[in-house]
Structure 1
Amino acid sequence: MGVLALVSAVGIAVDDRVLVGVPIWTKPFKFSVSFIAYALSLAWMLTLLPRGRRAGWWAGTVVTVAGVVEMALITLQVIRGTQSHFNQATPFDGAVFQIMGATVVVLWLGALVIAVLLLRAKILDRAMAWAVRLSSLIALAGAGVGFLMVRPTPEQLAVENPPISGAHSVGVPDGGPSMPVTGWATTGGDLRIAHFFGMHALQLLPLLLIVLTALAARSARFQAFARLADEGVRLRLTLTGSAVYGAVFVLLAWQALRGQALLAPDGATLAGAAAIVVAGGAATALSLRTTRTGRTASPALTEEVAA
């Protein structure tokens, strides 16, 4: 994947072909970078399993193989100068997209097995346990948004045997005005936003806990971080962060499905965002409260703080 990301970056620079409104090598570049982050996160999570590592290894292998097949087919279509996703222009293109759809289902099922293993695992650090569990579940939901993209649009349904069946955008055609770098639609909804945000919970939620733990280790020097040395506080903040992240994911998906651009929210979207901010802020304040009977910092963290 790393080699493909490098090749795709070079392709963006030297190949002037444009497909669906963006440089033709943009898709394999973004997908390869995303797969690298996704695979590394899953591999790290599998090391946390006290039991079921063999099943986890097989599930991880399935995810990896499915990802490689997916990227090979995307790259093949780029070389051919045609669209990979939703393409039914020829029998060959249709067969490629069907295989891609099958590999995505297999990849999703492999990730589901890993999520179930994490849910059942007895990980000693409770905050880390819930960070990886909830991030894997949100990532599954984020990946599941991709299944909504294969639905034909009303315009496509009005045509017999359309060459393209399915779309990233809602309410506007793919390839229209878009944001730089991401390519997300600016005049209508775009399901890729929720897809991207949901899948990267796999990295961002564990990262939140890592930051909290790092700050807790400095509580002896900085009194402002003292409460983070309490394991119960870190657990509650992790649960709060996960709930807020999940709520934002749902809001982004809802906004896109209504054909609304990310940067042009209506009153309902703004009200939803405000509710998330208020509820998240209140939950964060409550999470920071310590109790006399609550758990204190773990022995490892206590030693680190004392040092």
Structure 2
Amino acid sequence: MLGVETEGMTDVAPRTRSLPATLGFALARIWRNGRPVERTAYLVGALLFTSGLVHVVVLLVTGRTWIGPVSLRKAATFGLSFGLTLATVVWTTSFLKISARVRSVLLTVFTVVCVVETTLVSMQAWRGVPSHFNFETPFDTVVAMALAAGGAVIILTVLGFASATIVGSREITPSTRLAVRAGFVILLVSLGIGAVMVAHGAVEARTGSAQLAYTTTGKLKPAHAVAMHGILVLPALAWLLGLTNWPERARLGLVAIATAGYAILTAVVLVESFNGVSPFAATGPETATSAVAIALLAGVTVVTAFGLLSRRRPAAD
């Protein structure tokens, strides 16, 4: 049946509702259908995201610096990013063909590691010392190693989920399947970049200077950040398109365009990062390619918004 999907997607009933009611119904359904481990992860994700917002407010109110390895900006970005990523991973994995027990174990591990990573980074930021590549004291060394180990665990859990996308998915539309698969692939790219940053930075800090480690790994941050949230953007667009009245073929085409745009943008920023070039100081061809990629994503977003706003009117009572 057109538009019917499992666990958190749409059903027939919302199509006769107003747009705000439809969105509220769909979000409530995601929560209602969630298992205890999922609801717990959603709550934890919300708390992590809130911690990031709190750090942003502190930075704005106090006027503290936004740059450097000891800035509270790092605590803010970790809270915001891990909060969004955790909630998104919980939601998107509901579409995968994976046993409930295995998924619960992986989600529990992923949730715990997200909390540990964000907590350790925030703690070090408030102590006024770097969280990564800091081997000045035994305690700081333990924290840095714990963060590196946590990153490895995150990669392993995401690999477990990503492998499930190859096996198959639940009864979902092709557009959602494409968005989920592409999102996990791009997330793995981000985690791979993060692993390179940690490995390279640790070597530099051990054999050279910690400042050099922060400088060299900092060049990869744009690519790491852009790729990190493909798992949110693409499935979210597919989900919103599922709330329109459009046929699946049209939705699949739009998701394919958005996927191409996100993949191109990630590739361009990745090349710029490895060449040590800031996205704001890129060459003409690189800037033009990024502009095309952003235009594709923005275009799909605008078209999706139009599709939502032009849905047929609710049935009269």
TM score, norm. by length of structure 1: 0.70
2:282 is matched with which residue: 261, 265, 268? 265
- In the alignment, the residues of structure 2 paired with residue 78 and residue 131 of structure 1 have an alpha-carbon distance, to the nearest angstrom, of 35
Give the aligned partner of residue 8 of structure 1. 55
Tell me which moved more, 108-117 or 204-213.
204-213
- In the alignment, the residues of structure 1 paired with residue 289 and residue 60 of structure 2 have an alpha-carbon distance, to the nearest angstrom, of 40
Letter in 2 for 1:60: L
- Judged with a 3 Å threshold, the aligned counterparts in structure 2 of structure 1 residues 88 and 10 are, in CA distance, closer, same or farther, namely same
1:240 is matched with which residue: 257, 261, 268? 257
2:189 is matched with which residue: 129, 136, 141? 141
Is residue 2:226 matched to residue 1:197? yes
Q: Secondary structure at the match of 1:47?
A: helix
Equivalent runs, 1:115-130 vs 2, <5 Å = 115-119=162-166, 120-130=168-178
Letter in 1 for 2:221: R
- In the alignment, the residues of structure 2 paired with residue 168 and residue 305 of structure 1 have an alpha-carbon distance, to the nearest angstrom, of 55
Deviations 1:19-44 (A, max 9, x none): 85488221111111111111111111
Equivalent residues of 2:175, 2:255 under 8 A apart = yes
Is residue 2:114 matched to residue 1:67? yes
Q: Give the number of the structure whose alpha-carbon radius of gyration is greater.
A: 1
Deviations 1:177-196 (A, max 9, x none): xxxxxxxxxxxxx3221111
Give the aligned partner of residue 179 of structure 2. 131
Equivalent residues of 1:63, 1:107 under 8 A apart = yes
User: Relative contact order: is structure 1 or structure 2 higher (C-alpha 8 Å, sep ≥ 6)?
Assistant: 2
Identical-residue share of aligned pairs (%): 27
Residue 110 (structure 1) shift: 0.8
Residue 168 (structure 1) shift: 5.7
Give the aligned partner of residue 237 of structure 2. 208
1:108 is matched with which residue: 133, 155, 171? 155
Whose helix fraction is larger, Structure 1's or Structure 2's? Answer: 2
Equivalent residues of 2:133, 2:144 under 8 A apart = yes
- In the alignment, the residues of structure 2 paired with residue 16 and residue 271 of structure 1 have an alpha-carbon distance, to the nearest angstrom, of 35
Q: Secondary structure at the match of 1:89?
A: coil
Equivalent residues of 1:12, 1:25 under 8 A apart = yes
- In the alignment, the residues of structure 2 paired with residue 86 and residue 22 of structure 1 have an alpha-carbon distance, to the nearest angstrom, of 10
Letter in 2 for 1:105: A
Letter in 1 for 2:229: H
1:87 is matched with which residue: 121, 134, 147? 134
- Judged with a 3 Å threshold, the aligned counterparts in structure 2 of structure 1 residues 121 and 259 are, in CA distance, closer, same or farther, namely same
- In the alignment, the residues of structure 2 paired with residue 205 and residue 42 of structure 1 have an alpha-carbon distance, to the nearest angstrom, of 12
Kindly tell me the number of residue pairs found equivalent between the two proteins: 254
Deviations 1:256-301 (A, max 9, x none): 11111111111442464477689x69xx9xxxxxxxxxxxxxxxxx
Deviations 1:57-83 (A, max 9, x none): 111111111111111211221232101
TM score, norm. by length of structure 2: 0.68
Equivalent residues of 2:190, 2:227 under 8 A apart = yes
Residue 148 (structure 1) shift: 2.4
- In the alignment, the residues of structure 2 paired with residue 121 and residue 265 of structure 1 have an alpha-carbon distance, to the nearest angstrom, of 39
Tell me which moved more, 55-64 or 72-81.
72-81
| Unaligned runs of at least 5 residues, structure 2 | 1-47, 301-310
- In the alignment, the residues of structure 1 paired with residue 200 and residue 104 of structure 2 have an alpha-carbon distance, to the nearest angstrom, of 36
- In the alignment, the residues of structure 2 paired with residue 277 and residue 68 of structure 1 have an alpha-carbon distance, to the nearest angstrom, of 32
Deviations 1:205-242 (A, max 9, x none): 0122234334x42xxxxxxxxxxx22122223212321
- Judged with a 3 Å threshold, the aligned counterparts in structure 2 of structure 1 residues 21 and 161 are, in CA distance, closer, same or farther, namely closer
| Unaligned runs of at least 5 residues, structure 1 | 175-189, 218-228, 285-302
- Judged with a 3 Å threshold, the aligned counterparts in structure 2 of structure 1 residues 196 and 148 are, in CA distance, closer, same or farther, namely same
Letter in 2 for 1:212: L
Letter in 2 for 1:232: R
- In the alignment, the residues of structure 2 paired with residue 65 and residue 3 of structure 1 have an alpha-carbon distance, to the nearest angstrom, of 17
Letter in 2 for 1:256: S
Residue 50 (structure 1) shift: 5.4
Residue 123 (structure 1) shift: 3.1
Give the aligned partner of residue 248 of structure 2. 231
Equivalent residues of 2:193, 2:224 under 8 A apart = yes
Letter in 2 for 1:139: L
Letter in 1 for 2:237: L
Give the aligned partner of residue 36 of structure 2. none
